Amino acid sequence: MADRSEANAKEATQSFSKDKLAPFASHTNPESKPGVTFAAQDKLPKLPIPDLEATCKKYMAALDPLQTAREHADTERAVHDFLQAEGPDLQEKLKQYATGQSSYIEQFWYDSYLNFDNPVVLNLNPFFLLEDDPTPARNNQVTRAASLVVSALSFVRAVRKEELPPDTIRGQPLDMYQYSRLFGTARIPTENGCQIGQDSNAKHIVVLCRGQFYWFDVIDDNHDLVMTEKDVTLNLQVIVDDAVQTPIHEAAKGALGVLSTENRKTWSGLRDLMNRDEGSNNSDCLNIIDTALFVLCLDWSEPQSGADLCTNMLCGTSEIERGVQIGTCTNRWYDKLQIIVCKNGSAGINFEHTGVDGHTVLRFASDVYTDTILRFARSINGQAPSLWASTSPDPSKRDPESFGDVSTTPHKLEWDMVPELSTALRFAETRLADLIQQNEFYTLEFMQYGKNFMTSMGFSPDAFVQMAFQAAYYGMYGRLESCYEPAMTKMFFHGRTEAIRPVTPESVEFVRTFWAENPPTKKIDTLRKACERHTAITKECAKAQGLDRHLYALMCLWQRQVDGDDSGDGASTNGYSSPVSERDPNSGSSMPSPNRGSVISDDGSLASRSPPRDQHRLPAIFADAGWDKLNNTILSTSNCGNPSLRQFGFGPTSAEGFGIGYIIKDGSVSICASSKHRQTKRYIDAIESYFLEMRKLLRQTQRRGTSSDKGASKVREAEEKRPKTSKLKSRGRVIAGQPAKITEEEDASAAASDDDLGGYGFFDAGMLLQALKAKEEGGDRAHEGVARRREVGKKLRLMEY
C-alpha cells in the first residue's frame, strides 16, 4: 500500500475520469465503474498528534481573554507543572497508542458519545430544515415524502455501489468512511453504555405516522430501487389512511418511539423487557426498526413559523389537549437517521451522529434535494442530466422475477403492550414533554446581505458572523464567555472535527471598541484584526493543530491508566471500537456533529472518578479551574449549510448557554438559536441589530466602485473599457467609481434607511436623491439610436450586497 499523504490521496482520486468524479449527464455511460467513493481512503494521511508544548501554549492563549489575571496565573502554573510532570509521558504513550489505531482520538470520541447516559433528543441529535420543494405539485406531505424517499434511495445505491464522488476541498479528497455508516444503523442502549448496530444489507424503510410503525422493502439485493415514485406515493397514502383510523387522542398510548427519548439506562431496561417474553412480537418489531435504512416520520402538524418548524425537526411539538399528548414528539425514533415531513410538505432531517457528522449528512441532504429537482427536469426533458453515475433500471419495466425476495406491501408493526410497557410509555412521554418545555428556539432569516457583501468588504464570512455572536452577547451581558466552533478535519483518515476557540484578545478588543464611543474607522479596523485572527486559528484547526482534541485524548489516556486498562489495544467497553481499516465491518467512524465538542468536554466523569491515591492524582492542567471554564461552552456554534437548507440547529450544550446553528448564503444569513429560556429572542434581535449597524459603519468607511465588486457582471467591465467619444460626453455625467466624500446629510439619510426600513433600500440614499433631482430637472430625452443610447442619462452607482 502506498504511503499515506495528501498528495497520494489526491492522485488516487484523480486517476478516475471526470465522468466518475462529476457524473452529471453520465448516468447512461456504459464505462462507469464503481470504486471512486473510497479510492483515496488507503492513502489519506493519519490525523497528526500536535506538539505538546504548542498545544499548551494555545490552551493558555484560549483561556487568557476569559480569565482574570490571578486566574490566568494559576493556569500558567498548572500548565507548567503538567509539562514538567505527567505531560511528556502521556504524550509518548499517546503516540504509541495511535500506531495501532485509525486515529489517536477516534476511540475516545466513540466512548464519550456512547457512554452518554442522558436522553439523546435535544442533547446530541442535530437537525436540518430543508427548503421547500420548488415543484408545487410536491408541496404536500405524501408526494414530498415519496420524492425524498426515492432520492434518498438513489443516494444509498450510489454509496453501496461506490459510485458517489468523494467530497473534496480545492481538489483534495476528504475521508468518506462515514457514508458507509449512515444507513441501516441504530444506536442501541445496553446496561454498560450504547452500541452501534448496523445491517449493511438492509432493504427496507420504516414509516412512522401518528406514533404507529409501518415498513416495506424499497431496494433489492443489488441495491436497485424496486418501486417507482408513484408506487412509494401509493404506499405512503395507504399508511396515512390506516394511521388516521386511530384517533389522535389515542395515538400516544401506543407510541413506542417515545421510549427512545428516555435516559439510556432506562431505555436499555425497557428493551430487555420487550425482548424477554418468548413468542412476543416486540423483539421482531425492534429488529425491523433497528435494521431499517432510515425512518420516515409523517407528521400531522403544519408548523408555519421558522421557530416552530425548527422545534418540530429537533424534538417534535408538545401539545396537551384534555390532558393527553397530541404533539408530534410521539412520532419519532431518535436512535436512527430520520426524514421528517409535515402535513404541508415542509421537510427536515434529524440524525443520530455517533458515526456521522454534520458535513456528511449535509452532503446527503444536498444531493437528495438536488436529485428531486433533476428528476422533475427529466420529466420535462428526458435528456436532462442525472446526479448519479448510474441509475436503477426502471422498476415498472423489470421482469418480476428479477426483484428477488422483497416485500413492497406496507406492514404495520403490532406491539404486545404489557402493563409495564404501558406505564413506562406514559412516564416517558411526560418527561419528554418536560424536556421540550425547558427549551426555546428562535430563528433569524437575515435577508439584507450575506456572503457576497462580507467578502466584498474583505472579510471571511464565517469570521464576520462569529464576531456578531460575540458582540451581541457582550451588548447584553457586558462580558464574553467560552465559545466553541468546529473545524472539519476530514482531510485526514477518519478525520473528525477540531475545536476553534473564537474568543481571542483581538475579538475582545473589537467588542469593547464596538460598544464604546469610537469613530467608525476604529471599529472597522478592530473588526478586521479580530476576523483575521479567527481565520488564522481556523486554518490551524483544519490542519488538526488545535488544542481541544489533543488535550482530551491525553486526559482519556490518563483515565485508562487509572482504571488499569493500559493495554493500548483500542478496545471499547461499549463494543464500538476504532478500526484499523476504514472498511472494517465491525466498526464505524465517529465523526461528531459540528456543534457537539462541548458534550465531550463537559463530561467531567473522567476526572471525578480518580482514586484518592497520590499516584493517581489528576494532572494539574485538568484539575485547574481553567479546564472547566473553557469546556463549559456558553456559545456553542456551528456553520453548516448551503442553499438546499433553510435552517440548521441543535440544543444548548449547557444550561447557561445558547446553541447556535447558522448558514451563510450568498445574500442572506440563517440562524437558529436555542437555550433554556435565556432570552433567546432578545439575543437573536441583538444579532440582527448588529448586522444592520455593521453595514452602516461599512458604508460610512468604504469608498466603493461598481465593476470592482467581486460579484459584478462582466458586461460592466466591457462598458468601462470601451473608449468614450467626445460626442457622448455631453449626454450625462457618469458617476465616478470613487465618489466624493459622503456629506453628513447624505450619511444621515443612509442611517435612516437602515434604522427605519431594516436595510431595505437598494440604492444609496444620496445617489437616489440625486437621481430623483436629475429626473425632475432634465426630463426624458428622445431616442437617438441604439449606438448612442448607452451613454444617455445619468449612470447610478450600484450598491453592494
**Which among 227, 399, 248, 406 is positioned nearest to 327, based on CA atoms?**
248
Q: Return the amino acid letter for 614.
A: D
Catalytic residue among 353, 494, 534, 550: 353
- Give strand pairing partners of 660: 637, 673
Q: Using alpha carbons only, what angle is made at residue 409 by residues 405 and 413, rounded to the nearest 5 degrees? A: 100
Q: How far apart are CA 52 and CA 61, in angstroms?
A: 14
Q: How far apart are CA 215 and CA 221, in angstroms?
A: 17
Residue 615 corresponds to which cell in the numbers above? 499516584
CB-based burial label for 528 (10 Å; 0-12, 13-18, 19+):
middle
Q: How far apart are CA 738 and CA 702, in angstroms?
A: 10
Contact (Cβ atoms closer than 8 angstroms) between residue 174 and residue 47: no
Please say if 353 is a catalytic residue. Answer: yes
Contact (Cβ atoms closer than 8 angstroms) between residue 241 and residue 360: no
- Give strand pairing partners of 498: 487
Provide the CB-side half-sphere exposure for 125 (13 A, CA).
Answer: 30
| 3-class state of residue 610 by DSSP | coil
- Number of helices (H) and strands (E) in the chain: give both, helices first: 28, 20
Q: Where are the alpha helices (DSSP H) in 124-228?
A: 141-160
Q: How far apart are CA 791 and CA 783, in angstroms?
A: 12
Q: How far apart are CA 763 and CA 736, in angstroms?
A: 15
Residue 445 corresponds to which cell in the numbers above? 432569516
Residue 596 corresponds to which cell in the numbers above? 457537539
445: Cβ contacts below 8 Å, ≥ 6 apart = 306, 646, 668, 670, 671
Q: How far apart are CA 6 and CA 649, in angstroms?
A: 32
Q: How far apart are CA 412 and CA 584, in angstroms?
A: 34
Neighbours of 722 (CB within 10 A): 10
Q: Where are the alpha helices (DSSP H) in 543-613?
A: 548-563, 597-602, 605-608
Q: Return the amino acid letter for 246.
A: T
Q: How far apart are CA 156 and CA 486, in angstroms?
A: 27
The residues annotated with a catalytic role in the active site are 353
